[in-house]
Amino acid sequence: MAEIMQQDERLILLEALLFAAEHPMPPKRIIQFLGKSAKTDLPELVQKLNDSLAESGRSFRIREIAGGYQLYLMPTYTRAVEGFLKKQRERRLSQAALETLAVIAYKQPVSRADIEHVRGVNSDGVLASLLERKLAAIVGRSQKVGRPLLYGTTNRFLEYFGLNTLDELPKLDELVLPEDDTGFENQVEMQLESENETETPEHSEIHAQSDKNSFE
């Protein structure tokens, strides 16, 4: 009985901590807060908290992202609270920015010359704007002639694209079907579909739950 009490207490503490955090909270810091026992059962605690949030029909859940845990509002409620958003949301990324990021993400650490070689076009300006938005960062210098700067993606990149780790990006080779006629759009859709199939059960449960509680 005492153990159960203790776990309930830790669940509340975990919720409080994630509520207070603006950015994804690394497991290390959560463990500091909850005590060493969380080292082994943190994923279990998160799962339990998510289950209880779903059971009581709450509007938010916890997810693992950019190597940490974060509270997020379920998409069903996005429209209801949009008015409270920061005045200016970040602009969407341009095609040039997405392409450049794709090269950086898959080839990192990568120099500007390598990026331009792949894209076949000057990428100076777009790279500068990615650095400014902290989606990419300088990660070192190459040993090659001229010791060019090398770029890589950031935690902010993971957060922005809803990734926990870079491994969650599809393998580059899997993206290309030789002789494909499906076209670009179809491929993206196919990719998303296969992603949905592998969705964790609790995630689909969230969707079901949120439908029940939608404002309409």
Partner 1 sequence: MTREELFAIDPMSGEESVSYSVHLEKFEGPLDLLLYLIRQNEIDIYDIPIAKITSQYLEYIDLMRMLDLDVAGEFIMMAATLIRVKAKLLLPRQKDDYEEDPREELILALLEYKKFKEASGILHARETKERDILKRSDFSIIDTSPADAFVLEATVFDLLTAFKKVMEDYSREAQHHVKREDVNVEEQMEHILNMLRNADGIEF
Start-to-end C-alpha separation, the chain: 42
Among positions 134, 147, 203, 207, the unique one binding partner 1 when judged by CB under 8 A: 134
Q: Minimal distance in Å, beta carbon 215 to partner 1?
A: 15
d(CA 153, CA 131): 9
Cβ distance to partner 1 smaller for residue 44 or 121:
121
Cβ distance to partner 1 smaller for residue 54 or 137:
137
Cβ distance to partner 1 smaller for residue 42 or 118:
118
Closest CA to 19 of 57, 49, 56, 51: 49
Amino acid at 125: G
The residue count for binding partner 1 (CB under 8 A) is: 58
d(CA 28, CA 26): 5
Show the site string, 82-101: x = touches partner 1 by CB under 8 A, - = not.
--xxx--x--xx-xx-xx-x
Show the site string, 178-197: x = touches partner 1 by CB under 8 A, - = not.
-x-x-xxx-xx--xx-----
Q: In what order do the strands lie in the sheet with 136-141?
A: 110-111, 149-153, 136-141
d(CA 41, CA 34): 11
Among positions 71, 110, 127, 206, the unique one binding partner 1 when judged by CB under 8 A: 71
Helix ranges restricted to H, 168-212: 172-175, 183-197, 201-212
Q: Minimal distance in Å, beta carbon 5 to partner 1?
A: 29
Q: Does 176 bind partner 1 (CB under 8 A)?
A: yes
Cβ distance to partner 1 smaller for residue 49 or 71:
71
Contact 108, 139 (CB under 8 A): yes
Closest CA to 133 of 165, 104, 110, 106: 104
Up-side HSE of residue 215: CA atoms within 13 Å toward CB? 9
Cβ distance to partner 1 smaller for residue 13 or 26:
26
Cβ distance to partner 1 smaller for residue 33 or 77:
77
Up-side HSE of residue 39: CA atoms within 13 Å toward CB? 4
**Site residues for partner 1 per CB under 8 A:** 19, 21-23, 70-75, 78, 81, 84-86, 89, 92-93, 95-96, 98-99, 101-103, 105-106, 118-122, 134, 137-140, 154-156, 160-163, 169-170, 172, 175-176, 179, 181, 183-185, 187-188, 191-192
